[in-house]
Structure 1
Amino acid sequence: MAAEWGYWHPVWRADSLSPGELVTTVLLSEQVVLWRDLDQGLIHAAVDRCPHRGAALSLGRIEGGQLRCAYHGWCFDQRGQCTEVPALPHFSPPKSFRLNRYDVRIEYGLVWLARGNAQMPLFEAEADTSRRHLLCGPYKVKASAPRIVENFLDMGHFAFVHEHLLGHRDHCEIPDYHVVHDAWGLVVESAQAWQPKASADASEAALVDYRYEVRAPFQAALYKGKQRDGIALFICPHEPERSTVWFRLALFDLETSDDILLEFQNRIFAQDLPIVESQQPKCLPLEQSLELHCAADKASVAYRRYLREHAIRFGTI
């Protein structure tokens, strides 16, 4: 099994999948069917292929707690076991008649999938009940997941891509910072950036402290400012050059409306999007000699090393 399957991956907003609904998506180049059953409202996932004759299960329908294939009407229960073959009404399907299922978890407002013993990325701010939690996205991106993570870790672009919001060309210097490794992954400490408007509720420019954490190859988080507002980046890697992005906010701002917070996050990512989608090659080069680097790029260089050390190949070259 590829190293990428050692981690949980987000694939859908949990609140956008209704009971009895079937949807299809792609994860790590595998076609996936998701459904929420009508009995208990639980979410299930399997490879979007009936094991009988290969038809897409997402063309079928949910009957109670079971999924019925649209082609020959085979029915599968919540465990993926075939319970009925309509052409053979007296046939008892053996245990081998089953779907290729994924493990499913609901975390951070998203549906996550994995196979076997996988690691869920840690976003510590989620457990803080004094914070305000908000999910932003989905954002469809024609870029590799590693390119998107690297952009998230990059502070040097603030003054140019996010001028007058997260940076300004008159204050584009990035002071030296530290990159360390802990038991859970990669950490960027003591980073700072001068920002005209660091957040939706900011009223004046400030030199803002940043801490970044990479807890899984395609997920990252930052903590900024004196209050350490948290923003997590969660990515579904569909194909090597196609992804979906969500941001999970964990803020101490309890007054600004959801609409204003969402508008601010949408505005920031809309500025990033054409840049990230324009990068060539679209997959992230892991060999240092393929691109140029400077001292301000320590975080991205460390991230590329982290991917190499964890044998991550999806979305990289």
Structure 2
Amino acid sequence: MRSYEEAFSPYWHPVAFAHELKERPLAARLLGRELVVWRTGAGVAVTQRYCAHRGADLCAGEVSGEGLRCAFHGWTYGRDGRCVRIPSQPGAPIPPSAALASFHATERYGLVWVCLAPEPAAPLPEWPELEDGSCATVPLPRLDWDVSAGRMVEIVLDVAHLSWVHEGTFGNPEQQEVLPYEVERLPQGLRAQIVYPALAPPMGAAPPKVDKTTLTYEVSFPFAARLHFKPTLFFKHTVYAVASPWSEEKMQCFYFASYHPNLRMFPDIFVKSELAILEQDRLVGEGQRPKAHPVDFSGEAHVRADRLNLEYRRGVIAIRTGRPIDAPTPG
């Protein structure tokens, strides 16, 4: 079994929303590493957070035309992490040790993504609707939960908890049975679809109505999920949840939705309702034990309704052990 950091370092993980990264460098954390993120003329750059000279926090520095300048002594680093300027001795050669660990970084889907390994093991998720101009997006505040990344994704993919955990938001307590469904293997993950009689948001004093909703779940390994909602009464929209692992037991989730740009009232409705829904999930997730995402199925009992979560966990276990991710087992 590979360590958590070794197994997931070769994958892309988000460390910031793109709109958070402005003129100043931004602190980030990923798989136990403290990082600093900044913009250059050639795109985003990500390196270790602390200066190679005296360990100063580079988040307190500033970005210049040459690169990221430390506020302590002015040492300046290029996007590849190499020091390009030492003001205290401008004529002397820069020692090879004057360098920061640097990492692959890119900006896509409104997120800044980082891969800590020399070469990525897989591409970014394919979400073309976010780039073809057909939809608008609305983000939630980052979700800083005391939950492992795999646990977070399993909550998002869990089809059996809707009527229990989400009573009072959209969950329908009268619909507890989960009918059989299939799980399909995708090039980068899994897909499943169910129909759920959700409760539509109440309008005024009227009681909520049952809204027959088709839910299409897609997961891109290791920690990215896309959930498409096609209701009959409410607005069609898609939710994206990408859990970024700070450590094996803690994560930060980047959560946002896409919707038709003509639906001007959607962002306010979505943010208010989704934060209430996610708070219900957080209370459950932070109480689960073990806190780390399990690497086997012992100690838990499972039923047919858990099939999507089981196939997802099999994929994560394959990554941890360095094996290929197999197709779902027959239902």
Q: Which range, TM-score by smaller chain?
A: 0.7 to 0.9
Could you report, residue by residue, the CA deviation over 1:221-277 in whole angstroms, capped at 9, with x for unpaired residues? 112226863211112211222211122312237322422221122121122111111
- Normalising by structure 1, report the TM-score: 0.88
1:222 aligns with 2:227: yes
Correspondences of 1:1-317 after superposition (within 5 Å): 2-19=6-23, 21-37=24-40, 40=41, 42-93=43-94, 97-115=98-116, 116-118=118-120, 119-189=123-193, 191-197=194-200, 204-225=209-230, 229-252=237-260, 254-255=262-263, 256-311=265-320
Distance 1:263 1:312 in 2: 40
Distance 1:36 1:9 in 2: 18
Distance 2:202 2:151 in 1: 24
Question: Displacement, 1:120?
Answer: 0.8
User: Which SS does the other structure have where 1:287 is aligned?
Assistant: coil
Question: Displacement, 1:96?
Answer: 5.8
Distance 1:148 1:199 in 2: 28
Would the aligned equivalents of 1:144 and 1:239 in 2 still touch at CA under 8 Å? yes
Q: CA separation of 1:137/1:179 partners in 2, compared to 1, >3 Å: closer, same or farther?
A: same
Question: Displacement, 1:182?
Answer: 2.4
Q: CA separation of 1:23/1:253 partners in 2, compared to 1, >3 Å: closer, same or farther?
A: closer
Would the aligned equivalents of 1:196 and 1:204 in 2 still touch at CA under 8 Å? yes
Question: Displacement, 1:154?
Answer: 0.5
For 1:43, the aligned partner's letter is V
Could you report, residue by residue, the CA deviation over 1:168-224 in whole angstroms, capped at 9, with x for unpaired residues? 2211111111112122212223x2222012799xx7312322221111211111122
Question: Displacement, 1:303?
Answer: 0.9
Question: Displacement, 1:65?
Answer: 4.1
For 2:285, the aligned partner's letter is V
For 1:231, the aligned partner's letter is V
The root-mean-square deviation of aligned C-alpha atoms, in Å, is 2.5
User: Which SS does the other structure have where 2:29 is aligned?
Assistant: strand
Distance 1:77 1:123 in 2: 31
Q: What is the aligned length?
A: 307
Deviates more, 1:83-92 or 1:208-217: 83-92
Give the gaps of 5 or more residues in structure 1.
Answer: none
Would the aligned equivalents of 2:142 and 2:254 in 1 still touch at CA under 8 Å? yes
Question: Displacement, 1:56?
Answer: 3.0
Would the aligned equivalents of 2:158 and 2:308 in 1 still touch at CA under 8 Å? yes
For 2:230, the aligned partner's letter is G
Distance 2:69 2:155 in 1: 42
- Normalising by structure 2, report the TM-score: 0.84
Distance 1:199 1:185 in 2: 35
Give the gaps of 5 or more residues in structure 2.
Answer: 323-331
Would the aligned equivalents of 2:144 and 2:253 in 1 still touch at CA under 8 Å? yes
Distance 1:74 1:245 in 2: 33
Would the aligned equivalents of 1:108 and 1:248 in 2 still touch at CA under 8 Å? no
Would the aligned equivalents of 1:164 and 1:197 in 2 still touch at CA under 8 Å? no
2:326 is aligned to: none
Would the aligned equivalents of 1:60 and 1:69 in 2 still touch at CA under 8 Å? yes
Distance 1:145 1:244 in 2: 8
For 1:169, the aligned partner's letter is P
For 1:246, the aligned partner's letter is F
